[in-house]
Amino acid sequence: MPSITARFGKNCFAFRCLRLLVVLAAAPLCGPSSPAYAAPLPEEKPIPLEAAKNYFAEARMICERDHAQLWGISICGPIMLVDSSSRFLVTNQADANGTLTKEEGVFTGTLPKDQNIANTEIWWSGVHWTQMMWPLPEEVAACDTLIAHELFHRIAGDLHIARATKTIMPDNGHLDTLDGRYYLQLEWRALTRALETSNDAERRKAIGDALIFRAERYRLFPNGKVPEIDLEMNEGLAEYTGVKLGNPVPSDQVKTAIASLNRGPKAATFVRSFAYATGPAYGLLLDQYVPNWRQAIRDGNGFIPLLEGSLHVSAGSNLPQEATAREAGYRGVALKASEKERDDNRRRMAAEYRKRFIENPVLTMTFRHNNIAFNPSGLQPLDNVGTVYSTARISDDWGVLEASKGVLIKQDWSAAMIPAPADTTGETIKGEGWTLTLKPGWKLVPAARKGDFTLAAPDQSASH
């Protein structure tokens, strides 16, 4: 178990207080032969190495406690902790290219600017890493859940689970509509009831309600089924793994899953975040009713068919009627009213985004080998064009884009779009809420529509 100083982390007030107490206790009292002040402490690195070693030990404990039982393979592996402001990194092993420096039993270095920083898996310097942003959560359960979640992402490809390794997900834009959000939240409420009750009959009924609400959502949005399953097989399975291995006591696993369901509605949008709530909930319920589900799910069909088959859930001949009959038990009227108000606000925001990213002049940056970091809670689907990411950092062959007031990612993930700048010259170009740093030779050139721009590679510049 990491020490209290490691858990608090460098930037935590409690840690600084603890360190001050240690200094005061060690300093001699002032007197004729005593210095008035204690000697200054050596300057700390952006990530204290002792704290990093303790987190690495925590990850090793989680993985060894599992004994490769959950997924049939070990989740242990290379780990990279990165400080986003300085890009200073600490790893638990050497890289293949000899870029890192061994220091006090760990390895340190600086992550290049063409690499994004996020909680994710990453190939860098010849090694497949689990990357985590510093500082990690201070609360033990939250920290261990995050560690196990990210360790899963690194080994997902070895599990051969269809869709589990997809890094670019189709937009779940329907989950930002009135009915999409409404039936998802009813599903969450039913899943919460299923996890909270100890009565098997009540649990089975609540699971049935959840599946009916989801079936009605798919009836209303038939194109939403596949992208939902895609995200659940990616982030949903990862978060289930985090909850399962990060909380070794079963009752704590249930509490954590319920907390995720209760936290879900507070997100600004559900399109990329919903699976963090449904994944642990369905996973823990499947643990009870379909013990071999983790092997069975590898065909990519998702959680639902396995539960439906085990519990014999059927919507009957009239799905809308079945869903309506169950809504009252989950405070559906009040929920629909609040969602109607939100939907009115969403439409107004969509109109503003439509003018900013579609109607007005834009700069379109075609993706070649993109690497994107973004906040999954700050997304706004926009018609059938794509999704506006409120903040994002995108690196590609052409350079690095840092956007603080939104960037539109096309629905097919072929390009990013931002408002056109007034000045298109130079290697560092700025616009409203964004900065683009181009690599040598790249430049902005006029696009087909008047006022629009696109990027031209060095070998294309001569033709413009």
Is 34 a member of any domain? yes
Half-sphere CA count of 235, side-chain side, radius 13 A: 18
State the pLDDT at residue 29. 31
Q: What share of the chain is helix, strand, coil (3-state, %, to 5)?
A: 45, 20, 35
pLDDT in tens, 95-144: 999 999 999 999 999 999 989 999 999 999 999 999 999 999 999 999 99
135 and 13 belong to one structural domain: yes
Q: Give the C-alpha separation, 360 to 256, whole Å.
A: 45
pTM of the shown model: 0.79
Task: State yes or no: pLDDT of 15 exceeds 80.
Answer: no
Collapsing DSSP states into helix, strand and coil, what is residue 187?
Answer: helix
Question: Looking at residues 222-251, what average pLDDT do you find?
Answer: 95
Pairwise pLDDT comparison (214 vs 384), residue with the higher score: 214
262 and 180 belong to one structural domain: yes
Query: pLDDT class for 26, splitting at 50, 70, 90?
Result: very low
Cα Rg of the chain (Å, integer): 25
Domain final residue pick, 112, 131, 159: 159
Is 455 a member of any domain? yes
C-alpha dihedral (294, 296, 302, 304), degrees to nearest 10: -100
State the pLDDT at residue 21. 34
Q: Give the C-alpha separation, 91 to 80, whole Å.
A: 4
Query: pLDDT class for 12, splitting at 50, 70, 90?
Result: very low
pLDDT in tens, 99-110: 999 999 999 999
Is residue 387 within 8 A of residue 407, CB to CB? The reply is: no
Is 316 a member of any domain? yes
State the pLDDT at residue 411. 87
Beta bridge partners of 389: 379, 407
Strand order in the sheet with 428-431: 371-374, 392-396, 399-403, 434-438, 428-431
State the pLDDT at residue 124. 97
139 and 10 belong to one structural domain: yes
376 and 319 belong to one structural domain: no
Is 353 a member of any domain? no
Collapsing DSSP states into helix, strand and coil, what is residue 118?
Answer: coil
Task: State yes or no: pLDDT of 451 exceeds 60.
Answer: yes
pLDDT in tens, 171-222: 798 999 999 999 999 999 999 999 999 999 999 999 999 999 999 999 999 9
9 and 153 belong to one structural domain: yes
Pairwise pLDDT comparison (179 vs 19), residue with the higher score: 179
Q: Give the C-alpha separation, 431 to 421, whole Å.
A: 5
Q: Which of 406, 439, 404, 433 is closest to 421 using CA atoms?
A: 433
Instruction: Say if residue 135 is preceded by a cis peptide, omega within 30 of 0.
Output: yes
126 and 215 belong to one structural domain: no
Q: Give the C-alpha separation, 94 to 98, whole Å.
A: 7
Q: Give the C-alpha separation, 82 to 453, whole Å.
A: 35
56 and 120 belong to one structural domain: yes
Question: Looking at residues 429-443, what average pLDDT do you find?
Answer: 96
288 and 365 belong to one structural domain: no
32 and 154 belong to one structural domain: yes
Is 352 a member of any domain? no
Q: Which residues contact 298 (CB under 8 A, 6 or more apart)?
A: 159, 160, 161, 162
State the pLDDT at residue 346. 86
Task: State yes or no: pLDDT of 65 exceeds 70.
Answer: yes
Instruction: Indicate the helix (H) or strand (E) that contains 126.
Output: none
Is 435 a member of any domain? yes
Question: Looking at residues 443-461, what average pLDDT do you find?
Answer: 91
123 and 148 belong to one structural domain: yes
Is 349 a member of any domain? no
**Structure-token pair, residue 147:** 């560690």
259 and 128 belong to one structural domain: no
Angstrom distances, CA of residue 160 to CA of 11, 52, 156, 163, 297: 40, 31, 7, 9, 10
78 and 200 belong to one structural domain: no
Measured N-to-C along each axis, helices 319-327 and 200-220 cross at an angle, to the nearest 10 degrees, of 130
Tell me the residue type at 254: V
Q: Which residues contact 431 (CB under 8 A, 6 or more apart)?
A: 363, 418, 419, 420, 421, 422
Q: Which residues contact 143 (CB under 8 A, 6 or more apart)?
A: 7, 55, 58, 136, 137, 246
Pairwise pLDDT comparison (146 vs 377), residue with the higher score: 146
State the pLDDT at residue 162. 60
Domain final residue pick, 159, 182, 198: 159
Domain final residue pick, 159, 185, 202: 159
- Domain region containing 221: 173-330
State the pLDDT at residue 166. 54
- Number of structural domains found in the chain: 3
Is 149 a member of any domain? yes
